[in-house]
Structure 1
Amino acid sequence: MTAHDVSELARERDRIRAAHLRPAGERPASSARGLHHTALISSDVERTVRFYQDLLEFPLTELIENRDYPGSSHFFFDIGNGNLLAFFDFPGLDVGPYAEVLGGLHHVAISVEPDRWRHLKAKLEAAGLDHAVHSEVSVYFKDPDGARVELIADPLGEMYGHVVR
């Protein structure tokens, strides 16, 4: 990408910001109450439970049958603030490996307290899990099925010291 391309993209971002972004006090209230859950795919329910509950310390809150696919499970983890991370498994259906694709899920970012962030980062290291730390507040890694997860020590609604809500 050339410097000209980057400059054009920056101008377009500025145009969109000017046309659509309103100061916090001028924005209408959202029609949503919050993120109920984000659903990912699990190829092995127990392995996923061990990873998210035992390693990351997100309690398993429910494990039920998936109404959309016979024999499939739908299970949920508490990620705080009334939000859930959910999974489906599809036994007997080859869904293939996780792939980051244009228009698909890039990563799930979960806010944790700074002390908890350091604790969980140490657990990732002790488990030998490949990870990358950015800006000393974000740690990125992949779950057992390859989905990228970020633990971020910034408060909800902030990113690297910048308010994003």
Structure 2
Amino acid sequence: MRTVHHIAIICSDYARSRAFYRDILQLPVTREAWRAERQSWKCDLDAGNAQIELFSFPDPPARSSRPEACGLRHLAFTVADIDMEVERLGAAGVPCEPIRLDEFTGQRFTFFTDPDGLPLELYEQPTP
């Protein structure tokens, strides 16, 4: 295995989630398709070295994600300036938890959620 290719996310409201990932998180759409046989949209978003596949399905079941449910814990995005990103997200109506310090790396991070409550993380890696 070499790299992560994609992360698949099933959303409850396609238009709302597409706008969140495209407009608020500023991930460019690389491809979008309506799959009539599945009554499902699929939207590929460029997330740097990987892509996010955003899916819609009729009436998807809720998935437990907190507190510390078994399974994928969260999706983390690297940012150069966490203060600027937290401020930008807050201005867009997306609250973030208080910024914390990773005790092992010394890097700063925080969590927020997507429209379906999926935990997302900002992890600061300043540019050299």
TM range (shorter): 0.7 to 0.9
Aligned to 2:56: 89
Aligned to 1:124: 89
1:6-17 aligned within 5 A: none
Bigger RCO of structures 1 and 2 (CA < 8 A, at least 6 apart): 2
Q: CA deviation at 1:137?
A: 2.1
The gaps in structure 1 that reach 5 residues or longer are 1-31, 156-165
What's the TM-score, normalizing by structure 2?
A: 0.78
2:53 aligned counterpart, secondary structure: strand
Overall identity of the aligned pairs, in %: 32
RMSD, matched Cα: 2.2
What's the TM-score, normalizing by structure 1?
A: 0.63
Q: Which amino acid aligns with 1:62?
A: R
Match of 2:64 among 92, 99, 118: 99
Aligned to 2:23: 54
Aligned to 1:74: 42
Whether contact under 8 Å (1:49, 1:60) holds in the other structure is no
Whether contact under 8 Å (2:12, 2:60) holds in the other structure is no
The gaps in structure 2 that reach 5 residues or longer are 102-106
1:131 aligned counterpart, secondary structure: coil
Whether contact under 8 Å (1:38, 1:86) holds in the other structure is yes
Structure 1 residues 66 and 99: alpha-carbon distance in aligned structure 2, compared to 1, 3 A threshold:
farther
**Greater per-residue strand proportion:** 2
Aligned to 1:37: 6
Whichever of the two has the greater Rg, that structure is: 1
